A and B are shown apart, each in its own frame.
Chain A
Amino acid sequence: MHSARFKEEVIPLQNSLCRFAKGLLHDPFEAEDVVQEILARLWSRKDSLESIDNIKAFAFRMTRNLCLDKIKLRKQAVSDVEKNTLPVLEFNPHEQAEINDMATVIQNIIRLLPEQQRMVLQLRSVEELSFEEIEEIMEMSVNSIRVTLSRARKTVNEIYQQHFNR
């Protein structure tokens, strides 16, 4: 791949990749590091990128894997959502002040989701990727992507209702 094509097809992905990494890692600096590394890796193998059908999905998958590695290293605890109990959403006073900003509330709720659900939700609802692309990134079937997506959306709604209709 020539550097002109790299500039056209890969470089513009950095915003999306960075948002995706941030959604997984909750750490903007670490997310930037991850994306920087992904871009450097892609650059170093740019000659073999020609043979890849969907570079976007490929870059997302690399990002996903690298983030998951980082999370594994952190030994992050398994989210309670996976144990079928709804975690309680609590706000500190500072966050309470921002509570009118509903987007922030949703962001906090999404953080409580298991990684798989968080990734699928973000790839679909934020990055607006097709099911085929998500299939490639997540290495899941379209059917289980729909199920995961449905579960994520329902859980977000449930926690939201629980919190505001008490």
Chain B
Amino acid sequence: MNKAEVHNLIDKYYRGDTTLEEERVLLDFLESDMNNEFPSEKAQFSFFKKSREEKLTEDLFEIPDKEPIQIRSYSFGFVMRAAAALILALGLGYLLFLVAGSPLLETSTEANVQSEVLLPDGSHVWVHSLSHLRYPRAFEKDKREVFLDGEAYFEIVKDQAKPFIVHTHEVITQVVGTSFDLRNYGKEENVELTVFAGKVLFGSATKVAVAAGDQMIFEKKNKQVHKNLLKGLNALAWKNKQLQFDDAPLDQVLADLSRYYNIRITRKTKEELNCHFTGSFNNPRLEDMINALSFSMNIQFQLDNGIYYIDAHNCSGAQ
């Protein structure tokens, strides 16, 4: 091939007009061109060639075998050799994992900041403030594992073959595809799980199945799981910026406020009260909540040294 012909072919290549045959001719020429007169084209063609030679190391799909499984007897030697091969393979695999093990990505949030995370499988996580979520760049073949400190709301894409597992220290929350809120701040005594859809397995040594609508509490001290019968409506208040009370006892209202605004609230006297509150608030300011509660329940708030003290002995409420 003379120079003019080469230039002609290269022009044709850039116009997108070369045939595959012509490109093969060009490749042969470039590979044998010791002067390296066309470095860009040579680089391009050598990349294409190299890519073509790339092969998978194993099959990605095995045709399901409909034949009945044959039970064969193996000689001892065979079993030993197979076992040795297996151990070697496992060892190599582990070594590879150590060397190339994909590092975890981490999303950390500061106070008053929330973050939305899209996991590699398309699942969605909303991470509450002061929380850390760690997850791999790509999930493993047979499971999807993430690690949580703090609180997050999960909307998990369904994948029967790959259970989704959240690790929170000793507690494991396992799902197939569902939505739930999980709360585990280090300083708190409990791990809390609220399930909104689907079914969730929850616990450490023994796990319980939790159905949609239920809230479970894991007590870190004695490692017991039990259902929270006073769960209220505000498990997702942090995310939705909404406080809702439906005939909620005062103590629960105060607990929800304390959590939502991250403030300390305590009652001046600890007598049993029978006051309930109903109401719904969109992105309420704390002052508005205090006004609404003071007025409708006839209670007084008093801020002293960063703590809200509640005088509720005259409380009244829809009951």
Give A residues with C-beta under 8 Å from B: 3, 6-7, 11, 14-15, 18-19, 23, 27, 29-30, 32-33, 35-36, 39-40, 43, 70, 73-75, 102-107, 110, 122, 125-128, 130, 145-150, 153-154, 156-157, 160-161, 164
Contact = CB atoms under 8 A, between A and B. Distances in A.
A104 B61 CA distance: 29
B43 A102 contact: yes
Complex A-B, nearest 9 residue pairs according to Cβ-Cβ distance, in ascending order: A150-B16, A102-B43, A39-B61, A149-B16, A106-B47, A103-B47, A146-B16, A29-B138, A160-B40
B228 to A, nearest CB: 34
A154 B83 CA distance: 55
A102 B42 contact: yes
Given A7-B63, A106-B44, A15 B54 contact: yes
Nearest to B140: A29
Given A30-B120, A33-B141, A157 B14 contact: yes
A11 B120 CA distance: 26
B141 A43 contact: no
Q: Chain A binding site: helix, strand, loop or mixed by DSSP?
A: helix
Contacts of A103: 43, 46-47, 50-51
Interface of B: 13-17, 20, 23, 39-44, 46-48, 50-52, 54-56, 59-61, 63-64, 102, 118, 120, 122, 137-138, 141
Nearest to B136: A29
Nearest to B15: A150
Contacts of B42: 102
Nearest to A148: B16
A126 B56 contact: no
16 contacts: A3-B63, A6-B63, A18-B56, A19-B54, A29-B102, A36-B61, A70-B122, A102-B39, A103-B46, A110-B47, A145-B16, A147-B16, A157-B40, A157-B41, A160-B39, A164-B39
B184 to A, nearest CB: 27
Contacts of B23: 125
B14 A150 contact: yes
A39 B51 CA distance: 21
Given A74-B118, A103-B46, A11 B61 contact: yes
A108 to B, nearest CB: 10
B60 A102 contact: no
